[in-house]
């Protein structure tokens, strides 16, 4: 029983794991119940041989050097885009292509093209990509930095290597590879056919596979293996996403890989293609990534210095704008002409201003002058918020851009609290040693920064984005805050391999508020105290990818760890420091992928205060008082409930990706995902830093209810459902220890998250 299947056909090897449905021209065969076993199954033995011999023809292992050229194109578009042939946008019909999967018309919105040289060295093992040409055009540049947007697209649709990986990574999801270590347990394999490859004079054995549970992130597919080849050489592989797979938004996805045999017998991947159609709220989208490899050779590169670079990607861009010379002959007309289409579209005033408004909302900044903006205003979503000390707070900020100066940057803001009737402000002057296109946070940061601010300091709430309106909705009184006059001079340096070093001098003047007073054990009250400190930080994030915006970086999580080490030293009696501080903190974050069964995010951290200091300089657990879940904080602990001078903490957050729900009929159609988390911290407060034992130290604020943790760690857990309506999650949080009367014991938190 055989079937034909190509990129544009909808036929699949098996449409349901429990009902084997195979088509042969006019004949349809439907066994009532398939009895599948991997024991004594020739197809299983066949795929095991393919896996065992996967490295025999690897050109990277069999040669001292391996080089090839790459053309890569990523397209994103809208399917069935409504175009009025008689309207002002009727010209868009000239740029309409058709999708390879469903044949429906598609209007490309963005095209990212890249021409590169890839160099492998066996000993010492290394890989370098030299980018010779980039061509980026599309409507997505209103989303922000073009390079960051391309990084996101490349991360979502990363190249696939069936031979190398146990899992296929696409759309930031893990799919079990049909050649991975779990393949024979996860998939059903069939020896479907033997066909002739007339062009090369080979016979190809067709190995078909389907998942045991098509609701899991997986593929149906076929692998074409050269018959009688001792290396089990794969000529081609085709895979398709099952309709019921727990993958958001994707209605259809097809993968194709093609290989040729090199002169020495090595396998050379010549084509790697991913095509996807997506749908959400009635909008159908199209995405594809095409990679064509050519000019394979095993010679020593003429420029061996490429292997000395700390970065795996070297930007040379020395081929000008001759992208047309490198495009495959099959490039669709819409993809090739998108630059012209975008120019004509933006000449329409209605579209032009609509794009400006949408871009402002997405980027959180108002940019007068568009691409030529010299001074931007924002961030707009931090313009209004509420807290217990200031009441309603309004804020307005501005910054210069690289269009004014690529090296000098100035930013500042002003804010006013209607309850405390105080103005707050801040300003930063930064000099970047390397030229920047738009803002000083562009990678790599190499700068000197001077800043001064007068603003509030939220004790024990170190998470980001506290100034947004969403975080204004808090449980209890969010008023354990001080005023802080902070002046900083800092040097920042990032290397190409994502090692960053920061060192600086800070002068802080902490001022009391009605909710946080500064009174020592002898009854003496202070309106303020000062500290002048040296602060050093070391951060290492090997292989990190991120989306870069003016407001910061959003990490595109990799499997590599992110380690941060900080130290603060302020000797007492120096430069106005009344109470000194000497403390060290360290955190290590890592995501562990569990194949199609989701991922586990972990954080292990700890810190120690080496001498005596006052409570604002001690170590406080990171508390989340909002109703929006934050994965690396404590949802049910109150601010300053515990204050320590030594601690160790652990955060575990597991997204099971539907590992159980995918097996429940009916429920699996909702594509929800199980969420489980555990958070613990154990810390102590030594006698030298305990105000009850040292009258010269400032007492804890009475409203904080600070108490010793004792021998029992603080622990809480969360359990819930994610991917509800594809965009949000709801979780129940429960306090396991330190459950004294009057303290929160449980609650419900929500979060919004867009993921595949």
pLDDT tens by residue, 262-284: 988 899 999 999 999 988 777 88
pLDDT digit string (tens) for 534-552? Answer: 999 999 999 888 877 787 7
pLDDT at 33 over 70: no
Band (pLDDT 50/70/90 cuts) for residue 462 is low
Q: What is the pLDDT of residue 14?
A: 33
pLDDT at 18 over 60: no
pLDDT at 2 over 80: no
3-state SS class at 183: helix
Q: What is the pLDDT of residue 385?
A: 87
Top-confidence residue, 323 or 4: 323
Task: Look at 40-49, 83-92, 290-299, 397-406 and tell me which has the smallest mean pLDDT.
Answer: 83-92
pLDDT digit string (tens) for 666-716? Answer: 888 888 899 999 999 999 999 999 999 999 999 999 888 899 999 999 999
pLDDT at 37 over 90: no
How far is the first Cα of the chain from the last one, in angstroms, to the nearest whole number?
Answer: 35
Q: How many residues does the chain have?
A: 756
Select from 681, 624, 617, 623 the least CA-distant residue to 645.
617
Top-confidence residue, 539 or 324: 539
Strands (E), 187-346: 187-197, 202-211, 220-226, 234-240, 250-261, 267-280, 283-297, 313-315
pLDDT at 733 over 80: yes
Domains and CATH numbers, the chain: 37-344 (no CATH), 364-752 (2.40.160.50)
Query: Distance between CA atoms of 656 and 601, rounded to whole angstroms?
Result: 11
Top-confidence residue, 468 or 314: 314
pLDDT at 23 over 70: no
DSSP state of 229: -
As a whole-number percent, the residues of the chain with pLDDT over 70 amount to 93
- Average pLDDT on 169-195 reads 90
Task: Look at 297-301, 465-469, 567-571, 702-706 and tell me which has the smallest mean pLDDT.
Answer: 465-469
User: Which phi-psi region, left, alpha or beta, contains residue 284 (left: φ > 0; alpha: ψ -120 to 50)?
Assistant: beta
Band (pLDDT 50/70/90 cuts) for residue 463 is low
Q: Write down the pTM of the prediction.
A: 0.86
Q: What is the pLDDT of residue 85?
A: 63
Cis peptide before 91 (omega within 30 of 0): no
Query: Distance between CA atoms of 447 and 503, rounded to whole angstroms?
Result: 11
Run of H or E including 154: helix 146-156
Query: Distance between CA atoms of 637 and 620, rounded to whole angstroms?
Result: 11
**Residue whose structure tokens are 């993958």:** 247
Q: What is the pLDDT of residue 354?
A: 84
Q: What is the pLDDT of residue 15?
A: 33
Query: Distance between CA atoms of 281 and 358, rounded to whole angstroms?
Result: 19
Query: Distance between CA atoms of 94 and 77, rounded to whole angstroms?
Result: 15
Band (pLDDT 50/70/90 cuts) for residue 375 is very high
Cis peptide before 426 (omega within 30 of 0): no
Query: Distance between CA atoms of 245 and 213, rounded to whole angstroms?
Result: 9
* Per-residue tokens: 604: 């292990």
Top-confidence residue, 334 or 404: 404
Residue 654 vs residues 151, 161, 407, 651, 721: alpha-carbon distances, Å? 26, 27, 43, 10, 11
3-state SS class at 95: helix
Which residues are registered as beta bridge partners of 425? 414, 454
Q: Following DSSP, what letter does each residue of 714-728 receive, concatenated?
A: EEEEEEEEEEETTTE
- Average pLDDT on 559-564 reads 91
pLDDT digit string (tens) for 407-427? Answer: 999 999 999 999 999 999 999
Q: What is the pLDDT of residue 742?
A: 87
Residue 46 vs residues 51, 188, 195, 269: alpha-carbon distances, Å? 9, 12, 17, 22
pLDDT at 721 over 60: yes
- Average pLDDT on 217-223 reads 92
3-state SS class at 92: helix
pLDDT at 464 over 60: no
Query: Distance between CA atoms of 634 and 707, rounded to whole angstroms?
Result: 17
Band (pLDDT 50/70/90 cuts) for residue 30 is very low
Q: Following DSSP, what letter does each residue of 681-711 receive, concatenated?
A: EEEE--GGG-TTT-TTSBPPPGGGT----TT
Select from 293, 290, 252, 315 the least CA-distant residue to 104.
252
pLDDT at 153 over 70: yes
């Amino acid at each position: 029983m055989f079937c034909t299947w190509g990129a544009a056909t909808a036929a699949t090897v098996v449409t349901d794991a429990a009902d084997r449905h195979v088509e042969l021209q006019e004949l349809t065969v439907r066994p009532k119940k398939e009895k599948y076993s991997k024991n004594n199954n020739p197809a299983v033995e066949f795929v095991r041989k393919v896996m065992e011999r996967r490295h025999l023809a690897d050109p990277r292992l069999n040669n001292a050097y391996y080089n090839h050229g790459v053309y890569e194109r990523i397209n994103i578009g809208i399917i069935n885009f409504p175009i009025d042939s008689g309207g002002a946008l009727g010209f868009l019909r000239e740029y309409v292509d058709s999708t390879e999967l469903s044949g429906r018309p598609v209007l490309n919105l963005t095209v990212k093209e890249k021409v590169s040289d890839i160099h492998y060295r066996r000993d010492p093992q290394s890989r370098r990509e030299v980018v010779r040409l980039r061509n980026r055009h599309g409507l997505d540049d209103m989303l922000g930095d073009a390079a960051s947007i391309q990084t996101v697209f490349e991360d979502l649709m990363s190249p696939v290597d069936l031979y190398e990986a146990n899992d296929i990574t696409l759309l930031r999801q893990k799919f079990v590879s049909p050649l991975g270590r779990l393949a024979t347990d996860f998939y059903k394999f069939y020896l479907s056919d033997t066909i002739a490859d007339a062009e090369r004079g080979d016979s190809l054995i067709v190995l078909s596979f389907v998942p045991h549970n098509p609701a899991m992130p997986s593929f149906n597919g076929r692998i074409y293996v050269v018959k009688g080849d001792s290396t089990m050489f794969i000529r081609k592989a085709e895979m398709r996403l099952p309709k019921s797979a727990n993958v958001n938004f994707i209605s259809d996805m097809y993968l194709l890989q093609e290989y040729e045999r090199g002169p020495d017998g090595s396998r050379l991947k010549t084509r790697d293609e991913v095509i996807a159609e997506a749908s959400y709220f009635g909008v159908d989208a199209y995405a594809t990534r095409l990679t064509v490899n050519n000019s394979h050779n095993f010679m020593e590169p003429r420029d061996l210095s490429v292997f000395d670079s700390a970065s795996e990607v070297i930007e040379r861009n020395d081929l000008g704008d001759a992208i047309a010379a490198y495009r495959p002959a099959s490039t669709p007309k819409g993809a090739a002409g998108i630059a012209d289409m975008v120019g004509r579209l933006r000449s329409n005033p209605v579209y032009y201003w609509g794009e400006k408004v949408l871009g402002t909302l997405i980027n959180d900044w108002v940019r007068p002058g568009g691409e030529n903006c010299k001074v931007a205003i924002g961030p707009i979503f931090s313009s209004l918020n509420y807290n217990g000390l200031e009441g309603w707070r309004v804020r307005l900020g501005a910054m210069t851009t690289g269009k004014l100066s690529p090296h000098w940057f100035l930013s500042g803001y002003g804010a006013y609290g209607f309850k405390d009737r105080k103005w707050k402000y801040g300003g930063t002057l930064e000099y970047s040693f390397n030229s920047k296109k738009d803002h000083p946070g562009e990678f790599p940061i190499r700068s000197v920064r001077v800043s001064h601010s007068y603003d509030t300091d939220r004790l024990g709430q170190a998470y980001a984005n506290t100034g947004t309106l969403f975080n204004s909705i808090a449980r209890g009184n969010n008023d354990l805050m001080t005023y802080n006059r902070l002046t900083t001079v800092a040097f920042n340096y990032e290397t190409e391999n994502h090692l960053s070093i920061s060192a600086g001098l800070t002068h802080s003047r902490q001022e009391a508020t009605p909710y946080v007073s500064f009174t020592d054990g002898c009854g003496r009250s202070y309106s303020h105290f000062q500290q002048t400190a040296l602060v050093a930080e070391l951060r290492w994030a090997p292989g990190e990818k991120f989306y870069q915006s003016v407001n910061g970086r959003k990490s595109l999580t990799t499997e590599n760890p992110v380690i941060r080490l900080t130290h603060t030293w302020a000797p007492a009696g120096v430069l106005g420091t009344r109470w000194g501080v000497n403390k060290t903190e360290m955190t290590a974050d890592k995501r562990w992928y569990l194949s199609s069964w989701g991922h586990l995010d972990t954080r292990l951290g700890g810190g120690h205060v080496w001498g005596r200091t006052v409570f604002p300089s001690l170590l406080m657990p990171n508390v989340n008082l909002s109703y929006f879940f934050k994965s690396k904080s404590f949802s049910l602990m109150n601010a300053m409930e515990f204050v320590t001078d030594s601690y160790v903490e652990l955060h575990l957050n597991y997204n099971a990706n539907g590992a159980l729900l995918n097996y429940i009929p009916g429920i699996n159609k909702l594509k929800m995902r199980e969420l489980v988390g555990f958070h613990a911290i154990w810390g102590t407060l030594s006698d030298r830093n305990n105000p009850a034992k040292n009258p010269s130290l400032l007492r804890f604020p009475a409203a904080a209810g600070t108490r010793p943790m004792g021998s029992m760690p603080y622990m809480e857990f969360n359990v819930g459902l994610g991917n509800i309506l594809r965009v949000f999650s709801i979780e129940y949080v429960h306090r396991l220890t330190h459950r004294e009367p009057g303290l929160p014991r449980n609650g419900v938190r929500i979060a919004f998250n867009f993921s595949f």
